[in-house]
Chains A and B, each alone.
Chain A
Amino acid sequence: MPSDPLVAQHVLEFPGGYTRSTGPVVGRFLTELRERRIVGVRTSEGGVLVPPLEYDPATGEPVTGEYVEVGPAGTVTTWTWVEEPLDTHPVDVPFAWALIALDGADTALVHAVVPEHPKAMRTGMRVRPVWREQPTGHITDIRHFAPEVTKIVSPVRAEYRLRAGGSLAVFLAGVERGVLLGGRCERCAKVYVPYRTFCPECGGPIPDTLELPDTGTITTFAINNLPDPRAPEVPFVSAYILLDGADLPMIALVAGVPAHEVRQGMRVRAVWVPESERTASMANIRWFAPTGEPDVELS
């Protein structure tokens, strides 16, 4: 209540609600609604009015006594979004008011549509009524309309147990010490990192490991807008980094620089976790960060 003594609250209300006769046509519609059916009435011109009226608004002629079941599905022809529903609105979540052309009707019904997401709301979308649990013969027996099912979500999950052995175990043992191990092909002299025991290009053996520096150059990169548990934030950058002395790049995260400033030829250095936290895992390298050196011209 306002505290100003010259201001008073005034309420206009019909206690218990105002009783209205429905008449035969509106009454039939509401009675069918109570049975969870939506009906229209046929006009003398042959059209179907939904919701039914006693007279055809187009001609002024009385409608026929023929009731036609329509819907329950329909198509949204016009809609407007309500971000903040009023207490008097049919639902208490953001929704759309819509004109819905129910299947078999020649006019559109005004009602609420609750899509899964505001961006899913479309003219032309197919919707179906969501009914109140205990219909009473009222336009709000339809709680609201909801989109027809056009997709489902299928969970997919399988568990595996992986063991790092062979050349990968050698590489990770280096990472545990804070060293990136690669190897030079005896036959073609290409340097690969991570370390591998044979050259994928010429097939030559790579008997020995070669320590590579943790600095390199970005050759190409992608800005990612979906979150990843390893990345510090969204958007984040994943990049191909050509370590100094290597002939092929390795993939890693880039951080410490706004995503839009990352560029090809940028010089970067690995950011390692503190020594006490190191394990035989690539998690030892948080990401690569710019060194501040001038960019490198890529060949």
Chain B
Amino acid sequence: MREVAIVAFAQTRHTDHDTGLSEPELILPVINEVKERTGLTRFGFTCSGSCDYLAGAPFSFVSALDALAAWPPISESHVEMDAAWALYEAWVRLQHGDIDSALVYGFGKTSLGDLRTIMTLQLDPYYLAPLGLDQLSYAGLQAAALGAERAELDEIVRRSRADGRANPYALDLPDPEGDGLVAPPITDGAAAVVLAAGDLATRLTSTPAYIRGLAHRIEPHYLGMRDLARSASAADAARAAGVGKGPVEVAELHAQFAHEEIILREALELTGDTLINPSGGPLAANPVMATGLIRVGEAARRILDGRNHRTVAHAAGGPCLQHNLVTVLEG
């Protein structure tokens, strides 16, 4: 396996409203930032993650290419998934050995529509979508299946939002009130990561965040065919990525709801020694389709900054943590 490292990460200062920037305008600053950090202007491969349903416009990732300077032509691909899976594709592409660098980015503006019901459109069209099962409703089912104590859930939201307030890129949100399910905030934002293989990594930074493990697993889509109280696929992905082969100093988890964090901590077998979502996590900023990549970026940044030696990032897709990707990073 070829050694691949994250050598740069950038994200927007996310907003809780539509500032009116077009998607290329949203992306351009973070692309430019990682280009400046690495000194690279061209990449062996480029891959992005986004979802057309967020803006309600087809092929929005094509117009996003305007932010890349894609002439002369570049080698490019896209996933209609969180950009963490674009990172996975880029990592696989780098394993071919003929290129040494890759640019990965993701973006999403959830301010444009009603995210709660847009999320219904990802569901199976025969059995679930026609019922109008929405994001909060299926999350509510999973929370009920887990049955965690209210105080534990509230504490997760409180901690996430406090950490978010200390993170200049995340939103400034108050402590939770009331006893309902706390939804992740509506967020517009983008993020970019540069991967480098072989010698290029150490030429670009003295502290590359090496990807020591990277795996994703998926489970059945239909909610009535799984045990919603656990995430078998996250546990499998964590084992395949080798999370347990060493201590985990920091874990950035793609938990959009407090109960998801509890399920993921168990699936990844994280102990109390692991710092969870010091960035604030998705409960403090949730630019859908970039949220998972930001987890990888935040976990990498701890190593790039020299603060930590071994961190883990998790990304999720589908209803109720259906699809899970786990990355193990080491300095």
Contacts and interface: CB of A to CB of B under 8 A. Distances in A.
Size band of the interface chain A makes with B: 35 or more
A94 to B, nearest CB: 13
Contacts of A109: 224
Nearest to B137: A97
A80 B133 contact: no
B120 A88 contact: yes
Contacts of B120: 88
B128 interface: yes
Interface string A105-118: 00111111000000
Interface string B55-71: 01100000000000000
B1 interface: no
B53 to A, nearest CB: 8
Contacts of B223: 99, 108, 110
A22 B126 contact: yes
B130 A53 contact: no
Nearest to A101: B224
Contacts of B205: none
B125 A20 contact: yes
Interface in A50-106: 50-51, 53, 57-58, 78-82, 86-90, 97-100
A139 B132 contact: no
A89 B136 CA distance: 12
Interface string B112-133: 1000110010000111101111
Contact of A111 (B131, B220, B228): B131
B225 interface: yes
Interface residues of B, number: 31
B127 A139 contact: yes
A140 interface: yes
Contacts of B225: 49, 53, 57, 107-108
B141 A80 contact: yes
B144 interface: yes
Contacts of A100: 224
A122 to B, nearest CB: 12
Contacts of B137: 80, 82, 89, 97
A119 interface: no
B134 A88 contact: yes
Contact of B117 (A10, A88, A98, A139): A88
Nearest to A25: B126
A86 B134 contact: yes
A30 interface: yes
B143 interface: yes
A6 interface: yes
A75 B82 CA distance: 36
Contact of A138 (B53, B57, B116, B130): B130
Residue from B112, B116, B130 with most neighbouring chain A CB atoms (10 Å): B130
Contact of B128 (A57, A110, A138): A110
Interface in A19-42: 20, 22, 26, 30
A12 interface: yes
A82 B140 CA distance: 9
A86 B56 contact: no
B145 interface: yes
B131 A139 contact: yes
Given A57-B220, A110-B224, A139-B126, A86 B117 contact: yes
Contacts of A49: 225
Nearest to B121: A12
The 4 nearest A-B residue pairs measured at CB: A80-B140, A88-B132, A108-B224, A57-B220
28 contacts: A20-B125, A20-B126, A26-B126, A26-B127, A30-B126, A51-B126, A53-B222, A57-B225, A79-B144, A82-B140, A86-B116, A86-B117, A86-B132, A88-B120, A88-B132, A89-B132, A90-B131, A99-B141, A100-B224, A108-B225, A110-B127, A110-B133, A110-B222, A111-B131, A112-B131, A139-B130, A140-B130, A140-B131
